[in-house]
Amino acid sequence: MSKVFIFLGKGGVGKTTSSASLAYYLAEKGYKVFWFSVDPAHNISDVVGQKVDKITEVYKGLFALEVDVGRYMQRYIDNSIRRMKRLYKQLSVVGLEKVVESMRFSPGMEEVAILYAMHDLLQNSADYHFIVVDTPPTGLTLRILALPKLNIEWIKVLKYWRLKILERRRMVEAVRGEGALGEGVVVDPSEDKVIHELNNHFDMMKEMWDLFASNDCMKFLVVNQDRLSIAEGLRIKESLKDLGMQLAAVLVNKFGLLPVEKDEIKENYSDASVFELPFIENKEQLDKDDYLQIAYSWVPEVVSV
C-alpha cells in the first residue's frame, strides 16, 4: 500500500495548508500523489481554485478530492438495509427502511461513514506513490482513528455469542434430529451468513487498524503559536499515545504571529520533532510556489523521498 500521511489539529490551525504543502512538494518531486479531504467542511477546492467533488488532477501528478461524506453515509445505510433483509428475512416488517434510515442521526454515524470512505479510497489507490489526508477537527478525527480497534473488540464478542447460538442449535438437532429447527435454519458456522458478515467487517476493521498503527501511516500535528491550540495539541498527542500511535512531527503553522515562545512549544512537545512553518505575508490567496516554500521548511527533514 502507498505511504499515507494524516494531518491532525483543532479547527482553523492550518491542516489544509500544511497538507497542501506536502502534496505539492511530493508532486513537484515527480511522484503521483492522491490528496483528499474527509472534513465535511472542505477547503481543498479553495486551495486549488476549482471544484474537486471527483478525483481531479490539479497539478502535474497531484490528484485531489473532497469526499462527499453524506453520500458515503447513505451508501452505508442502504447496504445495512440490504444486509438486514438478507440476513433476517423473518423480520420483513413494514417501515424497516425508515427505521434504518434514522441511523444517519445516530451518534458515531459520521465517523463510520468517513472510515468507510477512507477504506474505499485507500483500496483503490494502488496507482499512487503517496496519499495525503486532510481531516476534520480534533475530536472527530481521533474517534475515526480509534473506531477500528473498538469495532474489532465488539466483533469478537458478537462472533462469540453467534457461535454459541449455532452450538445450541446443533445440540437441539442432535436430540431431535436433523432439520428439527425448521427449513433454512443454519447450524454450521461455515454456512452462516451472520458469521460471514462479521468476518467481512472484522477483516475491514483490522485492515484499517493495521494501517493506522503502522509506520506506513505518518501523523502530523498542526498547531498555532497560541496556548489554546498548543493545549489541544497536547491532548491529541496523549490520545494517540493511548492508541499506541506516535506523531511524526509537530508543525507550528503561521509561526511568529502569536506570542507563545518557541522554547515553550518545544518543551511541550519534547518527544517530537517541531517545525516552524512560515507565514506568507501580503497574500490573500496562496499559490503553488507559496505552498512549496512552506514545504521546504519541514518536509525534507521528515519525509524520505
pLDDT at 260: 65
pLDDT at 206: 98
User: Could you tell me which of 188, 266, 280 has the C-alpha nearest to residue 225?
Assistant: 266
pLDDT at 189: 95
Model pTM above 0.95: no
Active site residue 39: yes
Please enumerate in sequence order all residues whose Cβ is within 8 A of that of 159, keeping only pairs 6 or more positions apart, or say none: 195, 198, 199, 202
Catalytic residue among 39, 203, 242, 290: 39
Query: Mind listing the pLDDT tens digit for each residue in 126-167?
Result: 999 999 999 998 889 999 999 999 999 999 999 999 999 999
Q: Which stretches of the chain score pLDDT less than 70?
A: 1, 87-97, 99-101, 103-104, 258-261
pLDDT at 245: 96
3-state secondary structure of 278: strand
Q: Which domains does the chain have, with CATH numbers?
A: 3-302 (3.40.50.300)
Q: Which three cell numbers stand for residue 63?
A: 490528484
